[in-house]
Amino acid sequence: MPATTPDAAPDVPPHSSLRSLLRLWPYVRPLRVLLAVSAVVAVVASLMSLLIPLVLKWMVDGPVQHHDPGGVWLGGGLVLLLGLLEAVLFGVRRWLVARPLAGVEARMRADLYRHLQRLPVDFHDRWASGQLLSRATMDLQILRMFLAFPLVFLVVNTATVVIGFAILFAQSWLLGLVLLTPAVPLVVLCSYFESRYALASRRSQDQAGDLATLVEESVLGIRIVKAFGRHRSQARAFRGKTRDLWHTEMRKARLLSDLWAVIMTLPELAIGASLLVGVLQVSDGKLSAGTLVAFLSTALALRWPVESIGFLLAMSNEAATAADRYFEAMDAPEAETSGQDTPPVADGVRLEGVRFRYPDAPDDSPELLAGVDLHIRPGETMALVGATGSGKTTLTALLPRLHRATGGRITLDGADIAELPVARLRELVAVAFEEPTLFSATVRENVEMGAGPDGASEQDVRRALAVAQCDFVAGLPEGLDTQVGEQGLSLSGGQRQRLALARAVVGKPRFLVLDDPLSALDVHTEALVEAALRDVLRETTALVVAHRPSTVLLADRVALLTGGRIAAVGTHPELLRDNAEYRHLMSGEEEATGAAPPSAPRSPHGAPAEAAGEAPGRDAAGLPAADTDTAPALQRSDAR
């Protein structure tokens, strides 16, 4: 089932941009003094541009009118000096905020990453990874740009416009009123623009996240895409999403262009009208030529602060949308980490009336687990058997609390896992999944991830690799320090599965959960791993999901899961004798895998005698069996 975000773009309700942006205050608060200083510096820089018209007025009414070349040169020097001061002050403002705001972005990204690591698996099942990636990259870049430019210049430009109009009214109140005429239409237009641009901006950023998800899935699943010749359908899907994003960006561009057209036209008309009225006043002797020049120069200096309103509002709306998207992820409740560790009582694993339903399952659908009761004794290995879709993988995910049971109780040596601190629980329980996940790191680092807080020694790592029969590591270019590549795709499916098994056993966990950990191995390697794994299982309490009789033989007892409950528990021979469903499952697996019955004679290496002469590691088609499992993992493959 593909993960989707709960916030589809078309259904986003209107929001308050100011309220969204105010949520950034905890991150901005440490920089409030610095931002205030940078705003003051920017206001002073803007005032330099407003002083230039006053110098021009003095020049026109003074040196120019009296034909004084020295005064003209002096006025020109003052204009040049004011221009240089303005440029230097704006440079200082940029220098003041550049590094601190980059630090804000880094802190927000670190907080988001840390929070995502603590969120329960249910959250990651619902959210597409591309959406989370876009929030951690693109959205945070938008927020940094907002803090560096629009946040300051909304204040600076407002102060500049207020001071500028005070200067204009001081020179001529009539011309000031003419120039102020477009103010009311501009306010109405900006309000209209803001509500529509905010919706378009949200839609655009959500669609960009969906596009990132598609690209990520295509790259990770490139082998499947190529193997099934689906590059054309993937390209069509990509074009469809890019076309949707393009249409949204064009809508944003149309909204912005309409706003810019009106914002630029109305002030120009007002300046033209004030010029006409001013010329008439100069001709009537009611206004000096220098005053008219200063008025028009001031009006032109105010044109950018007024015209930039549209640009600043657009960036502010995008920043508000980015803040909403960022805090949607940050507001998701973390898995509880509190709890009290209780002394162990050597009781093994107990499941009492355990029930479970996925949060996104239809309300009228039956529970996947409908009252599971099971006791795994201390030091015992229990095999869990059931038909596909019976909930075996889901049940194994409940023990390390990757999912929370919706009912019932699970205890480990008498301690309720719901009350154990998560860190302690993960130290007690180690897991190896059927579909292994490796990271873009070295073999050593991937295995050491399964160690406890004290880490793993070189001896521990090599012991774990030996248990999992990872002899192939010695043949890698740099041995333990070889990078395995993204998702470990540079390795075969069987090699990835063996490394995941080594990761599970390296920390010598008290409880071990294995979800069909040998499914990608050929019969000879499987027999060797089983032989080494028996020594590990003697020292731990284990639950092993089994599909093949050979895996069942690792266990002391077997539990049959059917209808959301444990239908039978016993040894393998007992269930073969007394339970028809178990007998049917085992016979079906033997036929499907070609495995010999448990009672069949086996070769010295553990393989069935009739298969001992076959080429090792080859399946029925003649392909290397360890390399057949290269498809990306499907979510809840065993549960849905």
Q: Does residue 85 have a pLDDT over 80?
A: yes
Q: Are residues 317 and 378 in the same domain?
A: no
DSSP string covering 321-362, please? HHHHHHHHHHTSPPPP---------S--EEEEEEEE--TTS-
Residue 622 resides in a domain: no
How many angstroms separate the CA atoms of 144 and 147, rounded?
A: 5
Of 131, 132, 151, 143, nearest to 105 (Cα)? 143
Whichever domain contains 406, its CATH number is 3.40.50.300
Map tokens 């690591």 to a residue. Answer: 117
Over the stretch 308-333, which tens digit does the pLDDT of each residue have? Answer: 777 787 888 888 888 988 998 888 88
Residue 541 resides in a domain: yes
Q: Does residue 275 have a pLDDT over 80?
A: yes
Could you give the percent of the chain with pLDDT greater than 70?
A: 87
Q: Are residues 275 and 177 in the same domain?
A: yes
User: What are the two backbone dihedrals, phi and then psi, of residue 379, each rounded to the nearest 5 degrees?
Assistant: 80, 5
How many angstroms separate the CA atoms of 560 and 391, rounded?
A: 11
How many angstroms separate the CA atoms of 582 and 590, rounded?
A: 12
User: What are the two backbone dihedrals, phi and then psi, of residue 465, each rounded to the nearest 5 degrees?
Assistant: -65, -35
Residue 239 resides in a domain: yes
Is residue 356 exposed (0-12), middle (13-18) or buried (19+ Cβ within 10 Å)? buried
Over the stretch 299-308, which tens digit does the pLDDT of each residue have? Answer: 888 878 877 7
How many angstroms separate the CA atoms of 407 and 393, rounded?
A: 17
Strand pairing class (407-412; 415-416): antiparallel
How many angstroms separate the Cα of 43 from the Cα of each of 48, 186, 291? Answer: 9, 23, 24
Q: Are residues 85 and 191 in the same domain?
A: yes
How many angstroms separate the CA atoms of 15 and 7, rounded?
A: 14
Mean pLDDT (whole number) for 502-527: 82
How many angstroms separate the CA atoms of 150 and 148, rounded?
A: 7
Residue 15 resides in a domain: no
pLDDT band at 566 (very low <50, low <70, confident <90, very high): very high
Contact (CB, 8 A) for 404 and 120: yes
Residue 350: per-residue pLDDT? 92
How many angstroms separate the CA atoms of 280 and 274, rounded?
A: 10
Whichever domain contains 250, its CATH number is 1.20.1560.10
Residue 466 resides in a domain: no
* Of 270 and 375, more confident: 375
Average pLDDT value over all residues in the chain: 79
Q: Does residue 255 have a pLDDT over 50?
A: yes
Of 303, 204, 220, nearest to 260 (Cα)? 303
> Which helix (DSSP H) or strand (DSSP E) does residue 40 occupy?
helix 32-59
> Which helix (DSSP H) or strand (DSSP E) does residue 566 occupy?
strand 565-570
The number of beta carbons lying within 10 Å of the beta carbon of residue 73 is 11
pLDDT band at 354 (very low <50, low <70, confident <90, very high): very high
pLDDT band at 340 (very low <50, low <70, confident <90, very high): low
Contact (CB, 8 A) for 413 and 344: yes
> Which helix (DSSP H) or strand (DSSP E) does residue 303 occupy?
helix 303-330
Q: Which residues contact 433 (CB under 8 A, 6 or more apart)?
A: 393, 500, 515, 517, 633
Q: Are residues 321 and 362 in the same domain?
A: no
Mean pLDDT (whole number) for 73-88: 83
Highest mean pLDDT among 52-66, 470-484, 527-541, 562-576: 562-576
Q: Are residues 288 and 354 in the same domain?
A: no
Residue 406 resides in a domain: yes
Over the stretch 182-216, which tens digit does the pLDDT of each residue have? Answer: 877 877 777 778 778 878 888 888 888 888 888 87
* Segment among 9-23, 41-55, 67-81, 298-312 with least mean pLDDT: 9-23
> Which helix (DSSP H) or strand (DSSP E) does residue 543 occupy?
strand 541-545
How many angstroms separate the Cα of 2 from the Cα of each of 161, 200, 291, 365, 636? Answer: 52, 25, 69, 19, 10
Of 60, 58, 55, nearest to 80 (Cα)? 55
Of 55, 122, 62, 61, nearest to 83 (Cα)? 55
Predicted TM-score (pTM) of the model is 0.65
Residue 290's region, left for phi above 0, alpha for psi from -120 to 50, else beta, is alpha
Over the stretch 125-139, which tens digit does the pLDDT of each residue have? Answer: 788 788 888 888 888
* Per-residue buried b or exposed e for 310-329, using 16+ beta carbons within 10 Å of the residue's own CB: bbbbbbbbbbbbbbbbbeeb
Residue 356: per-residue pLDDT? 92
* Segment among 260-264, 312-316, 517-521 with least mean pLDDT: 517-521
Which residues are registered as beta bridge partners of 385? 560
Q: Which residues contact 107 (CB under 8 A, 6 or more apart)?
A: 27
Q: Are residues 363 and 251 in the same domain?
A: no
How many angstroms separate the CA atoms of 220 and 488, rounded?
A: 11
The pair of three-digit structure tokens given for residue 588, joined into one six-digit string: 């079906």
Of 452, 445, 449, 404, nearest to 428 (Cα)? 452
Q: Are residues 83 and 158 in the same domain?
A: yes
How many angstroms separate the CA atoms of 354 and 369, rounded?
A: 7
Contact (CB, 8 A) for 287 and 168: no
Domain that holds residue 379: 349-436+493-613
Q: Are residues 130 and 167 in the same domain?
A: yes
Q: What is the three-class DSSP state of 402?
A: coil
Q: Does residue 9 have a pLDDT over 70?
A: no
Could you give the percent of the chain with pLDDT greater than 90?
A: 9
Residue 149: per-residue pLDDT? 80
Residue 497 resides in a domain: yes
Q: Are residues 378 and 299 in the same domain?
A: no
User: What are the two backbone dihedrals, phi and then psi, of residue 559, each rounded to the nearest 5 degrees?
Assistant: -115, 130
* Of 482 and 67, more confident: 482
Residue 226: per-residue pLDDT? 75
Alpha helix (H) residue ranges in 453-596: 458-467, 493-505, 523-537, 549-552, 572-578, 580-593
How many angstroms separate the CA atoms of 263 and 309, rounded?
A: 8
Q: Are residues 145 and 276 in the same domain?
A: yes
Q: Are residues 551 and 587 in the same domain?
A: yes
pLDDT band at 44 (very low <50, low <70, confident <90, very high): confident
Contact (CB, 8 A) for 399 and 573: no
Residue 318 resides in a domain: yes
How many angstroms separate the Cα of 384 from the Cα of each of 313, 418, 559, 561, 571? Answer: 60, 22, 5, 7, 12
pLDDT band at 600 (very low <50, low <70, confident <90, very high): very low
Is the CA virtual torsion 451, 457, 461, 463 positive or negative?
A: negative
Residue 613: per-residue pLDDT? 33
When divided into structural domains, the chain yields a total of: 2
Q: Are residues 522 and 421 in the same domain?
A: yes
